[in-house]
Chains A and B, each alone.
Chain A
Amino acid sequence: MAFASYLVKRLGFMAVTLFLVTLITFGLTNVLPGNVALLILGPNATEESLAQLETQLGLNQPLYVQYVDWIVGLARGDMGMSLRYNTPVAEQIAIRLPRSLLLAISATIVSVTLSIPLGIIAAVRKNTPADLTASMLAFIGLSLPIFLWGLVFIFVFALNLGAFPTRGYVSPAEDPIAALHYLILPAGAMGVALTAYIMRMTRSSMIDELSEDYVEFARAKGLSEQTVVLRHALKNAAIPVITVIAFQFSYAFGGVVVLEEVFSWPGIGRLTLTAIENRDIPLLQGCIIVIALIYMVSNFLADAFYAYVDPRIRYGGEK
Chain B
Amino acid sequence: MRSTSTDPLLSVESLRTEFRTEGGTVTAVNDVSFALEQGEVMGLVGESGAGKSVTATSILRLIPYPGEIVSGAVTFDGEDLLERTEKEMQGIRGNRITLIPQDPMTSLNPVLTVGRQIIETIRLHQDVDKAEAREIAIESMREVEIPDPQSRIDEYPHEFSGGMRQRVLIAIGLACEPDLIIADEPTTALDVTTQAKILELLNDLRERRGVSILMITHNLGVVAQTCDRVGVMYAGNLIETGRVEDVFEQPRHPYTRALIDSIPSVDDDLERLYSLPGSMPDPKALPDGCNFADRCAHATEECRAGPDPALEAVSNRSTDSQVACLRAADLDLSEPARNGTDERRQRTTTTESLLEVNGLKKHFSAGDGFFGNLSLTRTDGGGLSLERRYVKAVDGVSFTINRGETLGLVGESGCGKSTVARTVMQLLEPTDGEVYFDGHPLHELGSSEMRSLRQEMQIIFQDPKSSLNPRKTVGQIIGRGMKKHGIATGDEKRSRIEELLERVGLQAGDIDKYPHQFSGGQQQRIAIANALAVEPKLIVCDEPVSALDVSVQAQILNLLADIQDEFDLSYLFISHNISVVRHICDRVAVMYLGKVAELGPTERVFSPPYHPYTESLLSAVPHSTPDRQPDRILLEGTVPSPIDPPTGCSFHTRCPKKLDGTCEREEPGLDPIDGDGTHQISCHLSVDEMGEPRTETGEPRADP
Q: What's the interface size class on A, roughly?
A: 20 to 34
In the bound complex, do residue B159 and residue A214 qualify as a contact, i.e. CB atoms below 8 Å apart? no
A310 within 8 A of B: yes
B376 touches A1 (CB 8 A): yes
In the complex, the answer to whether A236 meets B110 with C-beta atoms within 8 Å is yes
Q: How far is the CA of A214 from the CA of B172 in the complex (A)?
A: 13
Q: Are A310 and B111 in contact (CB under 8 A)?
A: yes
Query: How many angstroms from the CA of A9 to the CA of B98 in the assembled complex?
Result: 44
Q: Are A212 and B106 in contact (CB under 8 A)?
A: yes
B94 touches A222 (CB 8 A): yes
Contact in complex: A222, B99 (CB < 8 Å) = no
Which parts of A258-309 form the interface with B (CB within 8 Å)?
Answer: 309
Closest residue to A215 on the B side, CB-wise?
A: B109
Give residues 231-281 of A contacting B (CB, 8 Å): 231-232, 235-236, 239
- Is A76 an interface residue when CB atoms closer than 8 A count as contact? no
Q: A219-239 vs B: 1/0 string, CB under 8 Å?
A: 111111001000110011001
Counting CB contacts under 8 A, is B349 at the interface? no
A71 within 8 A of B: no
Least Cβ–Cβ distance between A17 and chain B, in angstroms: 13
User: Quick check: is B137 within 8 A (CB to CB) of the other chain?
Assistant: no
Chain B residues closer than 8 Å to A175, beta-carbon distance: none
B507 at interface (Cβ–Cβ under 8 A)? no
Check A318–B109 contact: CB distance below 8 A: no
Contact of B93 among A4, A220, A239, A309 (CB under 8 A): A220
The answer to whether A181 has its CB under 8 Å from any CB of chain B is: no
Check A214 against B106 for contact (C-beta < 8 Å): yes
Min CB gap A178→B, angstroms: 43
Closest A-chain residue to B101, C-beta based? A217
Roughly how many angstroms separate A236 CA and B112 CA in the complex, as a whole number? 9
Assembled-state Cα–Cα distance A169/B196 (Å):
71
Instruction: Report if A43 contacts B (CB, 8 A).
Output: no
- Rounded to whole angstroms, the CA-CA distance of A309 and B107 in the bound complex is 19
A5-B375, A309-B111 given as contacts; is B156 within 8 A of A217 (CB)? no
Residues of chain B within 8 A of A310, CB atoms compared: 110-111
Is A62 an interface position by the 8 A CB rule? Answer: no
A217 touches B90 (CB 8 A): no
A311 on the interface (CB 8 Å rule)?
Answer: yes
Known: A222-B90, A309-B111. A8 touches B156 (CB 8 A): no
List the one stretch of B9-17, B120-128, B427-435, B468-476 in contact with chain A. B120-128
- What 1/0 flags go to B519-546 for Cβ under 8 Å of A? 0000000000000000000000000000
Identify which of A9, A220, A224, A232 contacts B62 (C-beta below 8 A).
A220
Q: With A5-B376, A12-B371 as known contacts, state yes or no: A221 contacts B110, CB within 8 Å.
A: no
Taking a contact as CB atoms closer than 8 A, the residue among B89, B109, B159 that contacts A315 in the complex is B159
Secondary structure of the A contact surface, majority rule: helix
In the assembled complex, which residues on chain B have CB atoms less than 8 Å from the CB atom of A2?
375-376
Shortest C-beta distance, B48 to chain A (Å), equals: 17
CB of A301 to closest CB in B, whole Å: 19
Indicate whether A69 reaches chain B with its CB closer than 8 angstroms.
no
Closest CB of chain A to B60's CB: distance in Å? 6
Q: Which of the residues A5, A221, A235, A317 comes within 8 Å of B124, measured between beta carbons? A: A221
Question: B374 interface residue, CB < 8 Å from A?
Answer: yes
B385 to chain A, nearest CB (A): 11
**Set A221, A235, A316, A318: member contacting B94, Cβ < 8 A:** A221
B336 in contact (CB, < 8 A): no
B residues in contact with A239, CB < 8 Å:
111
We find that the number of chain B residues with CB closer than 8 angstroms to chain A is 37
> With a CB–CB cut-off of 8 A, which chain A residues contact B99?
217, 220-221
| CB within 8 Å for A311 and B172 given contacts A222-B94, A223-B124 | no
Given that A221-B121, A310-B111 are contacting pairs, would A317 and B159 also be in contact in the complex, using a CB cutoff of 8 Å?
yes
Q: Quote the shortest CB–CB distance from B188 to chain A (angstroms).
A: 13
Instruction: Identify B169's interface contact among A217, A316, A317, CB under 8 A.
Output: A217
A317 near B158 with CB under 8 A, answer yes
Q: Which of A4, A213, A217, A318: most chain B Cβ within 10 A? A: A217
1/0 per position for B646-669, CB-CB distance to A under 8 A? 000000000000000000000000
B310 sits at the interface (CB 8 A): no
Q: Is B108 part of the binding interface, using a Cβ–Cβ cutoff of 8 Å?
A: yes
Main secondary structure of the interface of B (DSSP, over half): mixed
| Inter-subunit contact B376/A8 (CB<8 Å) | yes
User: Once the chains bind, are A222 and B110 in contact (CB under 8 Å)?
Assistant: no
Is A109 engaged at the interface, CB distance under 8 Å to the other chain? no
Partner of B107, one of A214, A222, A235: A214
B228 within 8 A of A: no
**Cα distance A303–B193 when bound, in Å?**
39
- Distance between Cα atoms of A316 and B367 in the complex (Å): 9
A217 touches B107 (CB 8 A): yes
Structural contact, A213 and B106, CB atoms closer than 8 A: yes
Q: Is B575 an interface residue (CB 8 A)?
A: no
Query: With a CB–CB cut-off of 8 A, which chain A residues contact B110?
Result: 214, 236, 310-312
Choose among A212, A222, A235, A236 the residue with the greatest number of B CB atoms under 10 Å from its CB: A222
Bound: A213/B95 CA distance, A: 19
What are the residues of chain B within 8 A of A315 when measuring CB–CB? Answer: 156, 158-159
A311 to chain B: which residues have CB within 8 Å?
110-111, 156, 158
Q: Are A213 and B101 in contact (CB under 8 A)?
A: yes
- B380 to A: closest C-beta gap in Å: 15
Tell me the complex Cα distance, A218–B116, Å: 12
Which B residues touch A316, using CB under 8 A?
375
| A residues in contact with B120, CB < 8 Å | 221, 223, 227, 231
Give CA–CA (A311, B92) in the complex, Å. Answer: 32
Chain A residues near B637 (CB, 8 Å)? Answer: none
A91 is an interface residue with CB less than 8 A from chain B: no
Interface assignment of B91: CB less than 8 Å from any CB of chain A: yes
Q: Pick the contact of A219 from B62, B371, B375, B378 — CB < 8 Å?
A: B62
Docked CA distance A294–B137 (Å): 46
In whole Å, how far is B287's beta carbon from the nearest beta carbon of chain A?
Answer: 32
Are B376 and A220 in touch, CB under 8 angstroms?
no
Within 8 Å CB of A208, what residues of B? none
A220 touches B111 (CB 8 A): no
Distance (whole angstroms) from the CB of B101 to the closest CB of chain A: 5
CB-nearest residue of chain A to B64: A216
Q: Which residue of B lies closest to A209 (CB)?
A: B109
Chain A residues positioned under 8 Å from B103 (CB to CB): 213
For B148-175 the 0/1 string (1 means CB < 8 A from A) is: 0000000010110000000001001000
Q: How many angstroms between the C-alpha atoms of A1 and B384 in the bound complex?
A: 11
Q: Is the CB of B109 within 8 A of A232?
A: yes
Q: How far is the CA of A310 from the CA of B157 in the complex (A)?
A: 11
Interface residues of A in 23-64 (CB under 8 A from B): none
Contacts of B124 in A (CB 8 A): 221-223
B93 touches A214 (CB 8 A): no
Nearest-CB residue, chain A, relative to B125: A222
Contacts of A231 in B (CB 8 A): 112, 120
Tell me whether B158 and A312 are in contact (CB under 8 A): yes
The one of B60, B159, B377 that contacts A220, using a Cβ cutoff of 8 Å: B60
| A1-21 near B? 1/0 per residue, CB < 8 Å | 110110011001000000000
Does B93 lie within 8 Å of A222, measured CB to CB? yes
Chain A residue nearest to B116 in the complex (CB): A231
Task: Determine whether the beta carbon of A218 is less than 8 Å from that of B371.
Answer: no
- Give the distance in Å from the alpha carbon of A9 to the alpha carbon of B172 in the complex: 38
Contacts A/B (CB < 8 Å), 9 sampled: A2-B376, A213-B103, A214-B108, A216-B62, A218-B109, A222-B125, A223-B90, A235-B109, A317-B159
Instruction: Known A-B contacts: A221-B98, A221-B121, A310-B110. Give 11 more (CB < 8 A).
Output: A1-B378, A2-B375, A5-B376, A8-B376, A213-B102, A217-B169, A221-B93, A221-B124, A222-B124, A239-B111, A310-B111
List of 9 A-B pairs having minimum Cβ-Cβ separation, nearest first: A5-B376, A221-B94, A222-B94, A317-B158, A222-B93, A220-B99, A213-B106, A311-B156, A217-B107
